Amino acid sequence: MEQVPVWLTLRDRSVVVVGGTDKAAAKVRLALNAGARVTVVAPSLGIEVAELVRGGRAQHVARRFAAADLDDATIVYGATGIDTVDTEVAVAARAARVLVNVVDRPALSDFSMPAIIDRGAVVVGVSTGGTVPALAAAVRARIEAALPPRLARLAVFAESFRDAIRAKIAFGPARLRFWQRVVAGPIAEQVLSGDEARAHAQVLQALNGPDSMQTGGTVYLVGAGPGDPELLTLRALRLLQTADVIVYDRLVGPGVLDYARRDAERVFVGKEPTRHPVPQSEINMLLADRARTGLSVVRLKGGDPLIFGRGGEEADHLRAAGVKVEVVPGITAALACAAAAGVPLTHRDHAMEVTFVTGHGRDEGFEPDWATLARSRHTLVVYMGVGHAGEIAAKLMANGLPASTPIAVVQNGTLETQRVVAGSLAQLESLLADHGVSNPAVFLIGEVARAAQTSGAVPAELLRAVAG
Ligand SMILES: C[S@@+](CC[C@H](N)C(=O)[O-])C[C@H]1O[C@@H](n2cnc3c(N)ncnc32)[C@H](O)[C@@H]1O
């Protein structure tokens, strides 16, 4: 580490910015945000700084820099971009013992400016010591994504309980534990999702009875997307990183759990070769029981929890049991697989409608309306259809969909093992058999799937040309 991070208090202190252009504007804004009194020294001003001066937020000294400008300064920025002037600022600052930063000139600076993630009282700075600002910006983008926008609210919320917590719980591990539960558990999650009233009531309860934190956990039905962790939503990521318990099944991509909190309890409820899946009634009970003990429970489901994922049933059960449920949508297989195959699900020339249907509905006593599904200018996406491919194609053709209708099938969409095969509706069953396509896979059926023939997503050996 070449530099030591410190956070400067600039409220009501004098900050001098030498230069009036865009480079200077960023420094002026930053100092103003921190409550500083800002003086800009420059013969002329760019649009942004001029606007701030006109609005009375910064003072303007309309001339060249002079050492006396630093008389009252706490820090100074050299931001003219003119070598001789910036060097003069650095030399004068050093003589006056005023900390100086010269934009893009680490050698002339006492301090460098980190890339900042600003969440109110919570501020994160990323520094590369002024050497590679672009790298700092790239790291910042990653942290920005991980820190929820309402973190600032959480800081204000927690601060409002400071005195009460101090008065109620003696300094030491018990107070520390209490704080941890407030800022990292279900209470924090409620604040971050906008339910401050409930969070407030829970802190009061917790303060007034040691066991009352044990009530009111939440089950989050979270969409894990199709498999590639990059396709998780930011909210799913955050919940994974804060959950006490994660209940997941086999469709959750293997890389997704790498993003979960290390010490969270993980419960696998899917089918394994040697094990039957946990019955739905048991999953429901498990979720409710864990939530009732005050834990934050993430029920992670492949794709979107409410698309052929039994999320609706679990939510009904939990609500009936008095457990709070929140749904976090995910990217469903249809959307991810269509993108992977280069197929637009709708297209003004070919399809103005799209239907998602399960291919094994019959096993559960559901027979689709084949005539409706076979209509033209329509895209059909079939989930769970691999075992019924021949029958599905036959029904659609019998109801008028041409045998030459283009299709694409995506197996393990977005995973490293992804495969896309393409051909015509009449070839669906033989394509799957010839190439050993197995679950999980979706069928994309309709004129739009012709795009898979040319998108480059299908290797030549997995492609059968479609007439027309
Ligand atoms: C029980 S459904 C769950 C669907 C999930 N909730 C969703 O929104 O994608 C399982 C079926 O989804 C489809 N599926 C899920 N993930 C997939 C993937 N990565 N690639 C292809 N199909 C997938 C397959 O048809 C699989 O049999």
HEC string of 120-147 equals CCEEEEECCCCCCHHHHHHHHHHHHHHC
Any ligand 1 atom below 6 A from CB of 42: no
Residue 98 contacts residue 89 (beta carbons within 8 Å): no
Any ligand 1 atom below 6 A from CB of 226: yes
In this predicted structure, what is the pLDDT of residue 272?
56
Is residue 326 packed enough to be buried (19+ CB in 10 Å), middle (13-18) or exposed (0-12)? Answer: middle
pTM value > 0.85: no
Indicate which residue's Cα is closest to atom 22 of ligand 1: 441
Phi-psi region of 35 (alpha: psi -120 to 50; beta: other; left: phi over 0): left
In this predicted structure, what is the pLDDT of residue 266?
93
Residue 61 contacts residue 39 (beta carbons within 8 Å): yes
Helix extents (H) in 321-450: 333-341, 370-373, 389-398, 428-435
Any ligand 1 atom below 6 A from CB of 228: no
- Of ligand 1's atoms, which has the minimum distance to the CA of residue 301? 6
Best substitution site from 230, 251, 301, 327 to test ligand 1's pocket, by max atoms within 8 Å of Cβ? 251
For strands 441-445 and 406-411, give the pairing: antiparallel
In this predicted structure, what is the pLDDT of residue 148?
86
Beta strands in 261-307 (DSSP E): 265-268, 296-301
- The tokens describing 463, both together, are 């492609």
Best substitution site from 231, 383, 384 to test ligand 1's pocket, by max atoms within 8 Å of Cβ? 383
φ and ψ of 47, to 5 deg = -60, -45
In this predicted structure, what is the pLDDT of residue 278?
85
Residue 228 contacts residue 253 (beta carbons within 8 Å): yes
In this predicted structure, what is the pLDDT of residue 214?
45
Is there a cis peptide before residue 459, judged by omega within 30 degrees of 0? no
Q: How many CB atoms lie within 10 A of CB 35?
A: 11
39: three-class secondary structure by DSSP: strand
C-alpha dist (Å) from residue 232 to 48, 146, 219, 260, 314: 38, 12, 18, 12, 21
464: CB partners within 8 A, 6+ apart: 422, 423, 424, 427, 431
Phi-psi region of 446 (alpha: psi -120 to 50; beta: other; left: phi over 0): left
Residue 386 C-alpha to ligand 1 middle, in angstroms?
A: 11
Render each residue's pLDDT in the chain as its tens digit; 468 residues. 778 889 999 999 999 999 999 889 999 999 999 999 999 999 999 999 999 999 999 999 999 999 999 999 999 999 999 999 999 999 999 999 999 999 989 899 999 888 888 888 888 999 887 678 788 888 988 888 888 888 999 999 999 999 999 888 888 777 877 887 788 777 888 898 888 998 999 899 888 865 444 456 789 999 999 999 999 998 899 889 888 899 998 889 889 999 898 888 999 998 654 566 788 899 999 999 998 887 889 999 999 999 998 899 999 999 999 998 999 999 999 999 999 999 999 999 999 999 999 998 766 778 899 999 999 999 999 999 999 999 999 999 999 999 999 999 999 999 999 999 999 999 999 999 999 999 999 999 999 999 999 888 888 888 887 877
Distance between the two ends of the chain, CA-based, in angstroms?
Answer: 65
